[in-house]
Amino acid sequence: MAYLLDTTILLRLTNEADVQYTVAVHAVNVLHKRGEVLHLTAQNLVEFRHAATRPKNVNGLGLSAADADYRTVGHEVVFPFLPETPDIYPAWKAIVSALGIIGKQVHDARLVAVCHVHQVTHLLTFNTVDFAWLARYGPGVVVVDPASV
């Protein structure tokens, strides 16, 4: 099976002090051992840099630009990258239009659209509630909480 990693996974894998760090590491290791392919997309890395370089007092990791670059390269080496294709925008537009999505969830809808376009069947995330109703649209995506792996 193919999985897309949500940015919440990347942030936990980067922050050993996070209480969910070990859950994220365990889930990724188990899935790798099972032979599952865990993917990233450009959006994940854009969101990762945003959160990783944001100050700690506003829910960020407080990393420097250089450290964020280093961590991003590490993620790129470990997880195969799904390419940006012209099909992603119309898939995203169909989701947000059909479900009336506004605000912050437009980003989550785009990750679901990436899954649809690339035939990725599973999404690993700590934000299962945010993705559950989106993932039922179209061909569907199985939303997986890392704690359940």
Model confidence at 69, in pLDDT bands (50, 70, 90)? very high
Beta carbons of 82 and 39 less than 8 angstroms apart: yes
pTM for this prediction: 0.95
The answer, yes or no, to whether residue 21 has pLDDT greater than 90, is yes
Beta carbons of 48 and 72 less than 8 angstroms apart: yes
pLDDT in tens, 72-98: 999 999 999 999 999 999 999 999 999
Model confidence at 136, in pLDDT bands (50, 70, 90)? confident
Mean residue pLDDT across the chain? 96
> Which residues are CB-contacts of 81 (< 8 A; sequence separation ≥ 6)?
39, 40, 41, 42
Beta carbons of 11 and 18 less than 8 angstroms apart: yes
The answer, yes or no, to whether residue 28 has pLDDT greater than 90, is yes
How far is CA 104 from each of CA 85, 107, 108, rounded to the nearest angstrom?
22, 6, 8
Which CATH number among 3.40.1800.10, 3.40.50.10490, 3.40.50.1010, 2.60.40.10 corresponds to the domain 2-148?
Answer: 3.40.50.1010
Beta carbons of 5 and 124 less than 8 angstroms apart: yes
Q: How far apart are CA 124 and CA 83, in angstroms?
A: 18
Check residue 140 and give left, alpha or beta (phi > 0: left; psi -120 to 50: alpha).
left
Beta carbons of 52 and 14 less than 8 angstroms apart: yes
Determine which helix (DSSP H) or strand (DSSP E) holds 39, and give its type and residue range: strand 37-41
Model confidence at 52, in pLDDT bands (50, 70, 90)? very high
